[in-house]
Amino acid sequence: MSEDKLDYKRAGVDYSRLDPLKVMAQQAARDTARHLLNAGFQEVAASRGESAYVIDMGDFYLASITECLGTKSLVADAMREIGGRTYYDQIAQDTIAAAANDLATVGARPLSIHAYWAVGGSEWFDDERRMRDLVQGWKATCDALGAAWGGGETPSLAGIVQSGTIDLAASCVGIIRPKEHLVLGEALRPGDAIVLLASSGIHANGLTLARKLAERLPQGYATPLPEGRLYGEALLDATTLYSPVVQALLAAGIDIHYMANITGHGWRKIMRHPAAFTYRIASLPPVPPVLRFLAQQAGLGPDEAYGTLNMGAGYALFLAAEDAQRAIEISQAQSVPAYLAGRVESGPRRVLIEPLNVLYDAASLDLRG
Amino acid sequence: MSEDKLDYKRAGVDYSRLDPLKVMAQQAARDTARHLLNAGFQEVAASRGESAYVIDMGDFYLASITECLGTKSLVADAMREIGGRTYYDQIAQDTIAAAANDLATVGARPLSIHAYWAVGGSEWFDDERRMRDLVQGWKATCDALGAAWGGGETPSLAGIVQSGTIDLAASCVGIIRPKEHLVLGEALRPGDAIVLLASSGIHANGLTLARKLAERLPQGYATPLPEGRLYGEALLDATTLYSPVVQALLAAGIDIHYMANITGHGWRKIMRHPAAFTYRIASLPPVPPVLRFLAQQAGLGPDEAYGTLNMGAGYALFLAAEDAQRAIEISQAQSVPAYLAGRVESGPRRVLIEPLNVLYDAASLDLRG
Query: Which of A32, A102, A261, A367 is best to mutate for the B interface (most B CBs within 10 A)?
Result: A32
Q: Say how many C-beta atoms besides its own lie within 10 A of residue B170's C-beta.
A: 31
CB contact under 8 A, B157 and A36: no
> From the CA of A84, how many Å to the nearest CA of chain B?
21
Name all contacts of B1-4 with Cβ < 8 Å and 24+ positions apart. B2/B299, B4/B299
Confirm or reject contact between A25 and chain B (CB < 8 A).
yes
CB contact under 8 A, A66 and B135: no
> From the CA of A229, how many Å to the nearest CA of chain B?
25
Is residue A339, in this structure, part of any structural domain at all?
Answer: yes
CB contact under 8 A, A157 and B66: no
| Average pLDDT in chain A | 94
Confirm or reject contact between A121 and chain B (CB < 8 A).
yes
The count of domains in chain B is 2
Nearest chain B residue (CA) to A47: B150
> From the CA of B240, how many Å to the nearest CA of chain A?
20
Confirm or reject contact between A368 and chain B (CB < 8 A).
no
Q: Which pLDDT score, from 0 to 100, does residue B173 have?
A: 98
Confirm or reject contact between A212 and chain B (CB < 8 A).
no
Confirm or reject contact between B361 and chain A (CB < 8 A).
no
Give the per-residue SS3 of B20-83.
HHHHHHHHHHHCCCCHHHHCCCEECHHHCCCCCEEEECCCCEEEEEEEECCCHHHHHHHHHHHH
Write the single-letter amino acid at A4.
D
Query: Does one domain contain both A57 and A206?
Result: no
Confirm or reject contact between A153 and chain B (CB < 8 A).
yes
> From the CA of B265, how many Å to the nearest CA of chain A?
13
CATH of the domain at B87: 3.30.1330.10
pLDDT per residue over B132-145, tens digit each?
A: 999 999 999 999 99
Number of helices followed by number of strands (H, E) in chain A: 11, 13
Nearest to B288 by CA among B236, B243, B342, B242: B236
pLDDT at A278 over 70: yes
CB contact under 8 A, A159 and B122: no
**Domain final position from B159, B181, B203:** B181
Q: pTM of the prediction?
A: 0.94
Q: Say how many C-beta atoms besides its own lie within 10 A of residue B81's C-beta.
A: 10
Q: Which pLDDT score, from 0 to 100, does residue B315 have?
A: 98
Confirm or reject contact between A178 and chain B (CB < 8 A).
no
Please state, in angstroms and as integers, the Cα–Cα distance from residue B350 to each residue in A284, B15, B192, B274, following that order.
Answer: 65, 19, 15, 11
ipTM, 2 dp: 0.93
In which band, very low, low, confident or very high, does the pLDDT at B14 lie, cut at 50, 70 and 90?
low
Query: Does one domain contain both B139 and B206?
Result: no
Is residue A292, in this structure, part of any structural domain at all?
Answer: yes
Query: Does one domain contain both A143 and A260?
Result: no
Please state, in angstroms and as integers, the Cα–Cα distance from residue A199 to each residue in A309, A313, A333, A353, A354, following that order.
Answer: 11, 5, 16, 18, 20
3-state secondary structure of A265: strand
For residues B340-353, give the mean pLDDT: 98
Query: Does one domain contain both B136 and B226?
Result: no
Is residue B9, in this structure, part of any structural domain at all?
Answer: no
> From the CA of A289, how many Å to the nearest CA of chain B?
26
Please, are residues A10 and B130 in contact by the beta-carbon 8 Å criterion?
no
**Domain final position from A125, A159, A181:** A181
CATH of the domain at B232: 3.90.650.10
Query: Does one domain contain both A111 and A229?
Result: no
Confirm or reject contact between A125 and chain B (CB < 8 A).
yes
How many beta-carbon pairs below 8 A join chains A and B?
270
Q: Which domain holds residue B159?
A: 41-181
For residues B205-221, give the mean pLDDT: 96
**Domain final position from A148, A181, A214:** A181
pLDDT at A9 over 60: no
Query: Which of A31, A112, A167 is best to mutate for the B interface (most B CBs within 10 A)?
Result: A112
Query: Does one domain contain both A114 and A208?
Result: no
Option in B53, B158, B169 nearest A150 (CB):
B53
Query: Does one domain contain both B208 and B315?
Result: yes
> From the CA of B271, how many Å to the nearest CA of chain A?
20
Query: Does one domain contain both B223 and B96?
Result: no
pLDDT per residue over A211-243, tens digit each?
A: 999 999 999 999 999 999 999 999 999 999 999
